[in-house]
Amino acid sequence: MNPIAVNKEKCIGCGLCVKDCPSTYLHIEDGVAQTSTGGCLECGHCYAICPQGAITMTNYDCTEEAVVPMTEISADTLLAAMKSRRTVRQFTDQAVEPEKVEKILEAGRYSPTGGNSQNVMYTILGSKQAEAEEICVELFRKGTSLPSHFKAFSERFNITDDFFFKGAPLVILVSSRSSVDAGLASSYMELMAESLGLGVLYSGFFVMCTRFSRKLHKLINLPKGHKAVTCMVIGYPAVKYHRIVPRKPLQSKTL
């Protein structure tokens, strides 16, 4: 099925979709936009840019939503909020409301992906969260399955029963074939979580465990070819920070 459908009656042949198509899938012929036989990335640029609403994406829900430009958010406020965020390691036992979880996942779903692959999986540990943490705690306490440099690193910490998830009520494992795609999705999700009054911890140790524990790998059951990129530990903070922390000088250069 052709992923793009052009309504010839609505199309005015302005060519905006053709200019914005990253794969030259569209062209103007007989005064209207026409599609080619293959090569569409399904990125949706043509759908978004058409002033007449003449384009639909046949494999997607095309319910129209108004564009909200980032300029609607004060740049100074946004920067201050980003500078104010802290990694949270102390959480209350308050559950994260389902509607907030949905917004966090939706933020990830709309993050950019290379070639518009949209190949990011979000695994909520849910009922398996306690078991997954138990596997990791046992692995770190024994240390026998860890590479020597990780073993030495883990010995610096007190491996408590809640070492990996800190008692947080929500854990989302973000996986993909691409570390960049999953990383971008996680960044979008963190910003959304913070805007909802939640705190976030990236549990890098848990991600490491997914690579060394067959038992854990089987439990989380990632799609074929996927690797765990981030583990987002999310909940309501049980701590409040009062000032923005200093940073080292900016490292930047212009070539």
Q: Which residues of the chain have pLDDT under 70?
A: 144-154
- Cα angle, residue 186 at apex, residues 222 and 178 outer, rounded to 5°: 55
Amino acid in the structure at residue 21: C
3-state SS assignment for residue 17: helix
C-alpha dihedral over 13, 16, 17, 22, to 10 degrees?
Answer: 140
- The answer to whether the beta carbons of residues 202 and 88 sit under 8 Å apart is no
Tokens of 76: 């100074």
- What pLDDT, in 10s, does the model give residues 182-228? 999 999 999 999 999 999 999 999 999 999 899 999 999 999 999 99
The pLDDT of residue 146: 67
The reported pLDDT for the residue numbered 157 is 80
pLDDT at 144: 62
- The pLDDT value recorded for residue 212 is 87
| Rounded Cα–Cα distance for residues 112 and 107 (Å) | 10
Q: What is the pTM of this model?
A: 0.92
Residue ranges of domains in the chain, CATH in brackets:
4-57 (3.30.70.20), 71-235 (3.40.109.10)
Q: How far is it, in rounded angstroms, from Cα 129 to Cα 131? A: 5
β-bridge pairing 55-57 and 120-124? unpaired
The whole-number pLDDT of residue 203 equals 97
Q: What is the structure's pLDDT at 126?
A: 97
- Rounded Cα–Cα distance for residues 25 and 138 (Å): 53
User: Residue 172: CB partners within 8 Å, gap ≥ 6?
Assistant: 104, 105, 122, 123, 124, 125, 189, 231, 232, 234
**Tokens 């046992």 found at:** 138
Residue whose tokens read 């074929």: 224
At 151 the pLDDT is 66
Backbone φ and ψ of 49, nearest 5°: -90, -20
